[in-house]
Amino acid sequence: MIIARIGQLPPPLDHAMIYIDMPIGLPESGARGCDLAARKLLKRAASRVFLGLRRPLLRYLEDYAAANRWAKADGKGLAKQAFNLLPKIAEIDARMTPARQQRFRESHPELVFWRLNGGTALASKHEPKGLQARRDILAQHGFADIDAWLVKLRGTGVKPDDLLDACALALAASEATTGHARRVKSPAVRDARGLRMDIWF
């Protein structure tokens, strides 16, 4: 089971592992160690992992200028794309607890694809060759119905890369339920609410 890029958490299911493509656990200041570690793995594709998401920014969900001013005063400005994630991050943050993190884990599709591609980041998912590479990798891991799913998505507003990202996280979550969970190698750190700042892939 998977949630990708949405803030609403369903009730936990028995034996379910849920991987979420959103930050869980936010520092009061500075960068998360797990984000820095993820960037190191992705190398040339490091920018696909956002930096600078901090809990005080959740006070500025509708004011980018104010959010960016605070972020700069803290040492690093806030990208507009990262700012646009804040409402969903706030939804997840409001519902997440340390206990829930046993089943609801932060993940990142670029790291999953990096692993499945032998430790090499794929071309951008916004390029045809990048999309095709992701489809090929997923097909090799049992996702045989992607073409049919993509047809059903037409007109829904969901982009093809969103579906491929969701499949990647579903695959990693499924592997985690069989004892094959992987996370970036960074110090075990909890935020002010006791949430672990980890990225699983």
Q: Evaluate if pTM is beyond 0.85.
A: yes
Percent share of the chain, pLDDT over 90: 87
Rounded CA gap, 151 and 142, in Å?
A: 18
Q: Give exposure, 35-65, as e/b (b: 16+ Cβ within 10 Å).
A: bebbbebbeebbebbbbbbbbebbebeeeee
Q: Which pair of structure tokens corresponds to residue 21?
A: 């493509």
Rounded CA gap, 177 and 105, in Å?
A: 12
Q: Say if residue 5's pLDDT is above 80.
A: no
Contact status, residue 92 vs residue 7, Cβ threshold 8 Å: yes
Least confident of 4-8, 105-109, 151-155: 4-8
* Closest residue by Cα to residue 36 from 189, 197, 170, 186: 186
Q: List, for residues 78-99, the tens digit of each pLDDT value.
A: 999 999 999 999 999 999 999 9
